[in-house]
Chain A
Amino acid sequence: MLETQTKRSGWSWWYLLFVIQVAVALWPPFYNRIEPTLMGIPFFYWFQLLWVIVSAFFTAIVYFATSD
């Protein structure tokens, strides 16, 4: 039981996905440009919207890969 508890409360490498998700979202130089556009939408906008979807996938992956 003790062993399980240590595992449960500790760090999981899957959390690295969260680090990527947050780091990209907080780095405007990465996405602050117009080209390439998508259906006429500048990169700045469609990339951040796409990143929402990617982030949701990341969170889902972490959800299934880790337990409480």
Chain B
Amino acid sequence: MQEVNWIALGIFVVLFGFISWLGFAAAHWRKGDLDQLHEWGLGGRRFGTLITWFLVGGDIYTAYTFIAVPALAFGAGAVAFFAVPYTIIIYPLLFLAFRRLWYVCHKHGYITAGDFVRGRFGNRWLALAVTVTGIVATMPYIALQLVGIQVVIGALGISGTGFAADLPLLIAFVVLAAFTYSSGLRAPASIAVVKDILIYATALTAIVVIPMQLGGFGKIFAAVPAQKLLLAVPGPNTTGSYSGYATLALGSAMALFLYPHSVTGILSASSGHAIRRNAAMLPGYTLMLGLLALLGFFVIGAGVDKLPEYAGGFKQFGNNFAVPALLLHSFPSWFVGIAFAAIGIGALVPAAIMSIAAANLYTRNIHREFINKNPTDKQESQMAKLVSLIVKVGALVFILFVPTQYAIQLQLLGGIWIIQTLPPVMFGAYTRWFNSWALLAGWAVGTFAGTAMAVATKLTPTFPLVIGNHSFPGYTAVYTVILNLAVAVLLTPLFNSMSSNRTDETVAADYHDKVY
């Protein structure tokens, strides 16, 4: 590996120190009683349009995204751009469905998707399924954020053996755990602002300066092998890469706002209008993500992967090293420090929100539902703080002792699992038509089939569905959520005829703005 880059490291450490201070200071921002769960875990639902923009942006566009999407473009080419249609179609979903979820949760004081499902369908086992799915899908996601930090720490030239090698990551994590514990959601919300300023500065500079260094976009794209430039045109009797691309975008979009950290980001908004406004403003991030994806091609254009000084990094981190190597190659050390800090801080923000979201879920929908039914406010928030620590330690242990490849594969499975909560959560925001036991059966079938299909395809995202002599390769999550829905629709009349018990503590008027 290359030598330690002291200037970059110094700037990196200073910026990290600053956001650590900010994380602790955030406890006093829009001050509330942090002994109440909605204050610690949802920031008191006080965030207006702008802070929600930063917070949800910090949720969706994580450090791992900034590393992995360009890495995919570098390795596989055009298919990496599925992230763009994916993040185009999430916003209508946010605008329409998740705004309804915000209203009903605000009205009834729901803090998690599990709370909503419990109230809407009166079935604690369905709520438990939603809760467990949420927690299990979130864990590998947190672990992947750590991969983002690991890559930039490695790229700064810090290496060692045994305990020393993991020390920087450990320090970053202790700081993260401490400020999340003390400040709750206010910490990532305030840090997200700093993170985004750094990320935007990095992305815009890279997208302007590097093409100038390389002699323009034309030259860069000319260096990209032809088969990477576009999606392969499908042959006869198959929809090939087209259906793969479209279903990856669609399935990822449907899954996104079902993740607990997305729900937490949405519910912390102070009004439904803030959600709607954000649906129009958040594409700003999509644009940046698309531009960042192009960095993968810049790597090819600059030939960074062929340079001997970065061979060690590519060997250790694979294609995930592509963006850090490009930044090291193209920019002076002080700027590299800023850029790497942006990526590192970009990992802490979602990791904090994810651990808070998982803690909220456990506290509300497992502990309170099944163990201590009447906790005081203080007990409830204490439990959540404790769980947020456990979740993070779990992710840390995972990333230190289990090969990174497993975290990536589990995250892939997580996407297939979380989408199975779409019928009760997203459709539930519109209709109480479904029978809750039918939804539970659909969830079970979808989860089982999705896992089996993923294993059958050796943990790759697309499944070659064959109907007659036609092949439709597509994202497993999309196929299995359709199966899930079909089961729920077919079983609903059957289960309804066996039992007439249909509770619902919400009414239609809870799902939109109050009428004055």
Q: How far is the CB of B495 from chain A (nearest CB, A)?
A: 27
Q: How far is the CB of B216 from chain A (nearest CB, A)?
A: 5
Q: How far is the CB of A58 from chain B (nearest CB, A)?
A: 9
Whether A42 pairs with B230 at a CB distance below 8 angstroms is yes
Q: Using an 8 Å CB-CB cutoff, how does the interface string of A28-68 with B read, 1 for contact, 0 for none?
A: 11001110010111101100110111011001101100011
Q: Using an 8 Å CB-CB cutoff, how does the interface string of B197-221 with A read, 1 for contact, 0 for none?
A: 0000000000000000000111111
Q: Which one of B35-43, B89-97, B173-181, B464-472 is at the A interface? A: B89-97
- B50-83 residues with Cβ-Cβ distance < 8 A to A are 78, 81
Given contacts A28-B246, A42-B221, A52-B290, contact A18 B96 (CB under 8 A): yes
Q: How far, in whole Å, are A37 and B290 apart by their CA atoms in the complex?
A: 17
* Among B87, B96, B219, B277, contact of A40 (Cβ-Cβ < 8 Å): B219
* Among B272, B291, B515, contact of A5 (Cβ-Cβ < 8 Å): B515
Closest to B242 in A: A28
Q: Using an 8 Å CB-CB cutoff, how does the interface string of A1-37 with B read, 1 for contact, 0 for none?
A: 1001100110000010010011001111100111001
Whether A32 pairs with B95 at a CB distance below 8 angstroms is no
Whether A37 pairs with B218 at a CB distance below 8 angstroms is yes
Given contacts A34-B230, A44-B229, contact A9 B81 (CB under 8 A): no
The answer, yes or no, to whether B352 is at the interface (CB within 8 Å) is: no
Whether B280 pairs with A56 at a CB distance below 8 angstroms is yes
The answer, yes or no, to whether B341 is at the interface (CB within 8 Å) is: no
Whether A44 pairs with B81 at a CB distance below 8 angstroms is yes
Chain B residues whose C-beta falls within 8 Å of the C-beta of A60 in the assembled complex: 280
* Among B221, B241, B242, contact of A41 (Cβ-Cβ < 8 Å): B221
Q: How far, in whole Å, are A26 and B87 apart by their CA atoms in the complex?
A: 11
Chain B residues whose C-beta falls within 8 Å of the C-beta of A27 in the assembled complex: 246
Chain B residues whose C-beta falls within 8 Å of the C-beta of A67 in the assembled complex: 513
Chain B residues whose C-beta falls within 8 Å of the C-beta of A29 in the assembled complex: 242
Chain A residues whose C-beta falls within 8 Å of the C-beta of B99 in the assembled complex: 68
The answer, yes or no, to whether B245 is at the interface (CB within 8 Å) is: yes
Closest to A28 in B: B242
The answer, yes or no, to whether B455 is at the interface (CB within 8 Å) is: no
Q: Which one of B368-376, B379-387, B420-428, B504-512 is at the A interface? A: B504-512
* Among A9, A15, A25, A33, contact of B511 (Cβ-Cβ < 8 Å): A9
Whether B283 pairs with A40 at a CB distance below 8 angstroms is no
Whether B85 pairs with A26 at a CB distance below 8 angstroms is yes
Chain B residues whose C-beta falls within 8 Å of the C-beta of A45 in the assembled complex: 81, 290, 294
Q: How far, in whole Å, are A32 and B287 apart by their CA atoms in the complex?
A: 19
Chain B residues whose C-beta falls within 8 Å of the C-beta of A15 in the assembled complex: 96
Q: How far, in whole Å, are A59 and B233 apart by their CA atoms in the complex?
A: 31
Q: How far, in whole Å, are A45 and B276 apart by their CA atoms in the complex?
A: 28
Whether B272 pairs with A51 at a CB distance below 8 angstroms is no
Q: Using an 8 Å CB-CB cutoff, how does the interface string of B93-109 with A read, 1 for contact, 0 for none?
A: 00110010001000000
The answer, yes or no, to whether B88 is at the interface (CB within 8 Å) is: yes
* Among B103, B277, B290, B509, contact of A63 (Cβ-Cβ < 8 Å): B277
- B281-332 residues with Cβ-Cβ distance < 8 A to A are 281, 283-284, 286-287, 290-291, 294
* Among B88, B273, B281, B287, contact of A68 (Cβ-Cβ < 8 Å): B273
Q: How far, in whole Å, are A30 and B415 apart by their CA atoms in the complex?
A: 27
Whether B513 pairs with A8 at a CB distance below 8 angstroms is yes
Chain A residues whose C-beta falls within 8 Å of the C-beta of B249 in the assembled complex: 25-26
Closest to A15 in B: B96
Most chain B beta-carbon contacts within 10 A, residue among A9, A22, A59: A59
Chain B residues whose C-beta falls within 8 Å of the C-beta of A34 in the assembled complex: 229-230
B interface residues, Cβ below 8 angstroms from A = 78, 81, 84-85, 87-89, 91-92, 95-96, 99, 103, 216-221, 229-231, 233, 241-242, 245-246, 249-250, 272-273, 276-277, 279-281, 283-284, 286-287, 290-291, 294, 508-509, 511-513, 515
Other A-B pairs, 6, CB within 8 Å; known A9-B511, A25-B84:
A8-B512, A25-B249, A39-B216, A42-B221, A52-B290, A68-B512
A interface residues, Cβ below 8 angstroms from B = 1, 4-5, 8-9, 15, 18, 21-22, 25-29, 32-34, 37, 39-42, 44-45, 48-49, 51-53, 55-56, 59-60, 62-63, 67-68
- Which 8 pairs of residues, A with B, have the shortest CB-CB distance? A40-B218, A40-B217, A68-B513, A25-B85, A56-B283, A18-B92, A59-B280, A60-B280
- Would you mind naming 7 contact pairs between A and B with Cβ atoms under 8 Å apart? A25-B249, A27-B246, A39-B217, A44-B229, A49-B84, A55-B91, A63-B95
